[in-house]
Chains A and B, each alone.
Chain A
Amino acid sequence: MCTTCGCGAGETRVDDEPAVELEQAHADMPAAGAGPQHPAASEHEAGSGHWHRHADGTWHSHAHEHADTHEHVQGSTHSPRHDAAAAVTPSRMLQIERDILAKNDAHAAENRKRFEEQGIFALNLVSSPGSGKTSLLCRTIEHLQPGVPITVIEGDQQTSRDAERIRATGAPALQINTGKGCHLDAEMVGHALRRLSPPDDSLLLIENVGNLVCPAAFDLGEAHKVVILSVTEGEDKPLKYPGMFHAASLMLLNKIDLLPYVAFDVELAISYARRVNPTLAVMQVSATTGEGFEDWLAWLLAGCSHCQQRKQTTVAALQRRIAELEALLPAAARG
């Protein structure tokens, strides 16, 4: 389990069925509490745990026994020598240079390719719990249907309540339950896409787990992250959780119908958000009254239209290429 946010894995469920592929992906994970055996714990400085900071700014962890005289070669390369046996066995350095989230990014790239091929405008909606994401989605769907085909992927730790709320609007929705997980990852979304089969030229809305921290780091293949901040939260949220506001392209300031009743400084909230992300677009909306929805709906339609045009351009280019090759075929056959 994640020490910071309680994130775990291995209990992901898609529409209340175990996500087998996902579970296999996490099969290596030990049970919670199966931490490292550390017979020499007492040899560390009190409170230092399994890691140390060195003078050169690097951190260093140990899961095994080592002597008090903790011998490191100081310098640009860090060469730990922890026990005599290891020191005798020859070792070699392998250059890796790979991003830690490379596996997620590869799945995200697959999802993004699918979206491009199908002309799908995919959005990843992120916020803290209770900001009104699901209400916002329901109202958005009511406005856009039946003109725009919409499908929804709902992420929550437990229950399929949100997917049921979305289905009541008539839009197909799939619930992913992340179990102990604190965010959706690209593999879960890929799995959901195979089940949901969103149509060509449609809008896909992915409602992430309510969490302003972890979902920021996980690309799902979406065109944009849209962060929702409600006026019942503090205006300093962008400063407290900068990662999410930095990763988003658009901030929806929701529940503006409540502004007369709460001490929320709209301009201050926007200025904090733009400190973290200078290019962030901002729209003020109310999912309850529909106020401010014209801009939001226009933004969505522009995004859909852009994705459809890009697909048409690609298809037209491929058709031209096919025609060129077909024209060459009789000559090649004669030759």
Chain B
Amino acid sequence: MHEMALAMGILQIVEESARTQPFRRVRTVVVEIGELSAVEASALCFCFDAVTHGTLAEGAALDVIAISGQGLCFNCGKTVHLAALYDPCPDCGGYPVQATAGTEMRVKELEVE
């Protein structure tokens, strides 16, 4: 989806951090992206490179940590791994499974100098 808007969001967070905790350059940006957040990691990395051009994050590496999806099965009541929002419960094959984790889109930490 809108990976460009997300990449700009990441850059804004980096720039806001630079105002409160002075640093010259960003070496690495570590983000957590949930498996169910509909974000394509490769597209996000591509957009990140584009938006950081000419900023203090230019040339920084973007590490995307994938957070696996989890859901609560309404059929068997178990918490199970969920690879997509509409997948059936891998345990009992039932529907529906309500997502409980894996929708995150967060900037976790920055490696700066």
| Cross-interface CB contact of A275 among B43, B64, B95, B110, cutoff 8 Å | B95
State whether the Cβ of A50 lies closer than 8 Å to any Cβ in chain B. yes
Inter-chain CA distance A217–B4, complex, in Å, is 13
Knowing A4-B3, A92-B112, A239-B86 are in contact, say whether A30-B50 is a contact too (CB < 8 A): yes
A246 to chain B, nearest CB (A): 5
| Cross-interface CB contact of A50 among B12, B38, B45, B98, cutoff 8 Å | B45
Q: Closest chain A residue to B27 by CB distance?
A: A91
| Cross-interface CB contact of A99 among B45, B86, B106, cutoff 8 Å | B106
Determine if B85 and A100 form an interchain contact, defined as CB atoms under 8 angstroms apart.
Answer: no
| Cross-interface CB contact of B2 among A102, A214, A275, cutoff 8 Å | A214
Determine if A96 and B46 form an interchain contact, defined as CB atoms under 8 angstroms apart.
Answer: no
| Cross-interface CB contact of B47 among A2, A82, A99, cutoff 8 Å | A2
Q: Closest chain B residue to A51 by CB distance?
A: B45
- Please give, as numbers and ranges, the residues of chain A lying within 8 Å of B107 by CB-CB distance: 96-100
Question: In the complex, which range does the number of interface residues on chain B fall in?
Answer: 35 or more
State whether the Cβ of A101 lies closer than 8 Å to any Cβ in chain B. yes
- In chain B, residues 1-44, which have Cβ atoms closer than 8 Å to a Cβ of chain A? 1-6, 8-13, 17, 21, 23, 27-28, 30-31, 37-38, 40-44
Determine if A57 and B65 form an interchain contact, defined as CB atoms under 8 angstroms apart.
Answer: yes
Knowing A3-B43, A51-B42, A214-B2 are in contact, say whether A276-B86 is a contact too (CB < 8 A): yes
Determine if A80 and B86 form an interchain contact, defined as CB atoms under 8 angstroms apart.
Answer: no
Inter-chain CA distance A96–B17, complex, in Å, is 8
Question: In the complex, which range does the number of interface residues on chain A fall in?
Answer: 35 or more
- Please give, as numbers and ranges, the residues of chain B lying within 8 Å of A75 by CB-CB distance: none
State whether the Cβ of B109 lies closer than 8 Å to any Cβ in chain A. yes
State whether the Cβ of B111 lies closer than 8 Å to any Cβ in chain A. yes
- In chain A, residues 23-79, which have Cβ atoms closer than 8 Å to a Cβ of chain B? 26, 28-30, 34-38, 49-51, 53, 57-64, 78
Inter-chain CA distance A277–B105, complex, in Å, is 20
Per CB-CB distance, the 8 closest pairs between chain A and chain B, nearest first, are: A61-B45, A51-B45, A59-B64, A36-B49, A278-B96, A64-B59, A242-B85, A59-B41
A residues lining the B interface (CB < 8 Å): 1-5, 7-9, 26, 28-30, 34-38, 49-51, 53, 57-64, 78, 80, 82, 86, 89-104, 182-183, 185, 213-214, 216-217, 238-239, 242-243, 246, 272, 274-278
Inter-chain pairs besides A51-B46, A93-B112, 8 sampled, C-beta below 8 Å: A9-B4, A58-B65, A62-B49, A91-B113, A100-B10, A183-B5, A276-B86, A278-B95
